[in-house]
Structure 1
Amino acid sequence: MKDQRRIADFLDAELGRIGRIGEARNRQIHLLLERELAAIAATLSGSDEAAVERRETGWSWLPSVPAHWEIGPVCAYFDVLLGKMLNQERAAGPHPRPYLRNANVHWYEINADDLAEMSFEAEERLRYRVRKGDLLVCEGGAGVAESAVWGGLVDEVYYQKSLHRVRSRRHVPVEWLMYWLRLAKEVGVFASDGNIATIPHLTGEQLRAYRIPIPPDGHSRVARLAEEVQAMYRLASSLQSGNSLLLENRQALITAAVTGQFDVTTAGRVET
Structure 2
Amino acid sequence: MEITGNRVVLNLAGADNMKAVRPGDFIIHLRSFQGGIELSEISGKVSTAYTVLTPSASPLNHGYYRHLLKSGIFIEQLVNLTGQLRDGQSINYARFSRLILPFPPLTDQCRIADFLDRETAEIDAMDVELDRLIEALRERRRAVLRTAVLGGELAADASDWLSNLPADWGRVPAWAIFRERGEKSGPDDQHLTPSQTYGVLPQSEYMEITGNRVVLNLTGADNMKAVRPGDFIIHLRSFQGGIELSRVSGKVSNAYTVLVPAVEIENGYFRYLLKTDFFIEQLVNLTDQLRDGQSINYVRFSRLRLPLPPMGEQHRIAAELDQHTARIDDMIADANRLKALLAERRSTLINEFVTGAMEVSA
Q: Return the TM-score normalized by structure 1.
A: 0.75
Residue of structure 2 in register with 1:78 after alignment: 178
Name the SS for the 1:11 alignment partner: helix
Distance 1:247 1:58 in 2: 39
Please, which of 242, 250, 257 is the counterpart of residue 346 of structure 2? 250
Q: CA deviation at 1:66?
A: 0.8
| 1:160–1:82 Cα change, 3 Å | farther
Q: CA deviation at 1:58?
A: 7.8
Distance 1:146 1:58 in 2: 17
Letter in 1 for 2:175: C
Q: CA deviation at 1:148?
A: 2.6
Query: What CA deviation, in whole Å up to 9, does each residue of 1:6-46 have, x standing for no partner?
Result: 11111111101111111111111101111111111111221
1:264 aligns with 2:360: yes
Residue of structure 2 in register with 1:100 after alignment: 192
Distance 2:187 2:198 in 1: 30
Name the SS for the 1:71 alignment partner: strand
Distance 2:326 2:257 in 1: 24
Asked which structure has the greater CA Rg, the reply is: 2
Distance 2:133 2:182 in 1: 37
Residue pair 1:97, 1:157 contacting (<8 A) in 2 also: yes
1:43 aligns with 2:148: yes
1:149 aligns with 2:231: no
Q: CA deviation at 1:55?
A: 9.6
Distance 2:184 2:157 in 1: 35
Query: What CA deviation, in whole Å up to 9, does each residue of 1:48-67 have, x standing for no partner?
Result: xx6xxx99998345541111
Q: CA deviation at 1:107?
A: 4.9
Q: CA deviation at 1:237?
A: 2.1
Residue pair 1:147, 1:178 contacting (<8 A) in 2 also: yes
- RMSD value over aligned CA atoms? 3.3
Residue pair 1:105, 1:138 contacting (<8 A) in 2 also: no
Residue of structure 1 in register with 2:235 after alignment: 138
Residue of structure 1 in register with 2:55 after alignment: none
Residue of structure 2 in register with 1:209 after alignment: 303
Among the aligned pairs, what percent are the same residue? Answer: 21
| 1:105–1:200 Cα change, 3 Å | farther
Residue of structure 2 in register with 1:91 after alignment: none
Query: What CA deviation, in whole Å up to 9, does each residue of 1:110-150 have, x standing for no partner?
Result: 232247344214xx78xx33222222223223x54533322
Write the mapping of 1:49-198 to structure 2, written as runs, cut at 5 A: 59-61=159-161, 63-81=163-181, 95=187, 97-101=189-193, 104-107=194-197, 109-112=199-202, 113=205, 114=207, 116-118=216-218, 119-121=220-222, 128-141=225-238, 143-144=239-240, 146-152=242-248, 157-184=250-277, 188-195=281-288, 198=292
| 1:260–1:249 Cα change, 3 Å | same
Distance 2:270 2:107 in 1: 64
Q: Answer 1 or 2: higher relative contact order, Cα 8 Å, separation at least 6.
A: 1
Residue pair 1:29, 1:236 contacting (<8 A) in 2 also: yes
Letter in 1 for 2:228: R
Structure 1: gaps of 5 or more residues: 86-93, 267-272
Q: CA deviation at 1:215?
A: 1.0
Query: What CA deviation, in whole Å up to 9, does each residue of 1:230-254 have, x standing for no partner?
Result: 3222221222232123222212211
Name the SS for the 1:98 alignment partner: coil
Query: What CA deviation, in whole Å up to 9, does each residue of 1:54-82 have, x standing for no partner?
Result: 99998345541111211011110122337
Distance 1:37 1:230 in 2: 13
Letter in 1 for 2:201: N
Residue of structure 1 in register with 2:135 after alignment: 30
